[in-house]
């Protein structure tokens, strides 16, 4: 079993739709969680950190469920510019860093 | 632009050779992490340096080694190159530990023939 798993997609949704991704992680001691976005042939960029209480940034909402060991990302009112690969990131160690990226979920927004 | 730079942008090597990739971190950042990203995959964590000391390592063999300098720039060295080492190598810098936002450079595309 992979340490961090994501549905690879692709998710193909119309503009204005709401779309949600989940990401599961295997190490219950994992300390921090992030969502990154990566455009084709570009480097990853931080979309948002994921806090235990959940957090929202505009159209984006991230949540953490420690009991079930997953994090989620919800995108409301999707825009064409949201088309990208969304990477789930987990720091699986409490001491030295052990940063694990999921394989990414591809999202394509159609007009 | 993140302020993280990497050199070279592209590199072609043959099997068995050695390669050194370089990364300059964003100003004020003392932590650098290196990743290998194969096509269609997420970045795989190689190792992290914090204030010139290795602070965590992924599942990569010892022929992947690194260094961080007093100015917090960093090098990734790979010995005895194999065909499977062909990938995009990304470095990311962050401010302090443990779990701050990482800013990625544009990457070095390594091709091993």
Residues A97, B38: Cα–Cα separation, whole Å? 21
The chain B residue lying nearest A37, using CA atoms, is B42
The 10s digit of each residue's pLDDT in A25-61 is: 998 888 889 999 999 989 999 999 998 888 999 999 9
Q: How confident is the model at residue A92 (pLDDT cuts 50, 70, 90)?
A: confident
For residue A4, give both structure tokens: 């961090």
Closest Cα in chain A, distance from residue B109 (Å): 11
Enumerate residue ranges in chain B where pLDDT < 50.
Answer: none
Closest Cα in chain B, distance from residue A106 (Å): 10
Radius of gyration of chain B (CA): 13
Percentage of chain A exceeding pLDDT 90:
76
Strands A4-6 and A55-57: unpaired
DSSP state, residue B97: S
pLDDT for residue A98: 80
Contact A16, A110 (CB under 8 A): no
Q: What integer best gives the mean pLDDT of chain A?
A: 92
Mutate to test the interface with B, among A3, A30, A47, A97 (most CBs of B within 10 A): A97
Residues A71, B9: Cα–Cα separation, whole Å? 34
- For chain B, report the end-to-end CA distance as a whole number of angstroms: 32
pLDDT for residue A95: 63
pLDDT for residue B88: 97
- Residue A2 pLDDT > 90, yes or no? no
Radius of gyration of chain A (CA): 14
User: Around Cβ A68, how many Cβ atoms within 10 Å?
Assistant: 8
Over residues A58-66, mean pLDDT: 96
pLDDT for residue A96: 65
pLDDT for residue B1: 66
- Kindly give, in sequence order, each residue whose CB lies less than 8 Å from that of residue B61, ignoring residues fewer than 6 positions away: none
Q: Is A51 within 8 Å of chain B by CB?
A: no
Contact B23, B90 (CB under 8 A): no
Place of tokens 């999921």: A102
- Residue A70 pLDDT > 90, yes or no? yes
For residue A60, give both structure tokens: 């984006």
pLDDT for residue A1: 75
pLDDT for residue B10: 96
Q: How confident is the model at residue A9 (pLDDT cuts 50, 70, 90)?
A: confident
Flag if A87 and B43 touch (Cβ within 8 Å).
yes
């Amino acid at each position: 079993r992979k340490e961090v798993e994501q549905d690879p997609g692709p998710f193909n949704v119309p503009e204005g739709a709401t779309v949600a991704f989940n990401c599961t992680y295997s190490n219950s001691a994992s300390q921090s969680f992030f969502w990154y976005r990566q455009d084709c042939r570009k480097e990853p960029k931080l979309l948002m950190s994921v806090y235990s209480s959940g957090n929202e940034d505009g159209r984006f909402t991230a949540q953490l469920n420690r009991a079930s060991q997953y994090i989620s990302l919800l995108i409301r009112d999707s825009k064409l510019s949201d088309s990208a690969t969304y990477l789930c990131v987990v720091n699986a160690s409490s001491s030295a860093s052990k940063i694990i990226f999921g394989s990414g979920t591809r999202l394509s927004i159609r007009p | 632009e993140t302020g993280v730079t990497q050199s070279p942008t592209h590199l072609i090597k043959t099997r068995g050779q050695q390669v050194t990739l370089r990364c300059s971190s964003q100003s004020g950042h003392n932590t650098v992490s290196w990743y290998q990203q194969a096509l269609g995959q997420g970045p795989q964590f190689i190792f992290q340096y914090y204030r010139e000391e290795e602070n965590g390592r992924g599942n990569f063999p010892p022929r992947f080694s690194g260094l961080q300098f007093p100015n917090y720039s960093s090098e990734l060295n790979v010995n005895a190159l194999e065909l499977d080492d062909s990938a995009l190598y990304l470095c990311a810098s962050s401010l302090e530990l443990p779990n701050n936002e990482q800013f990625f450079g544009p990457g070095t595309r390594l091709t091993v023939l």
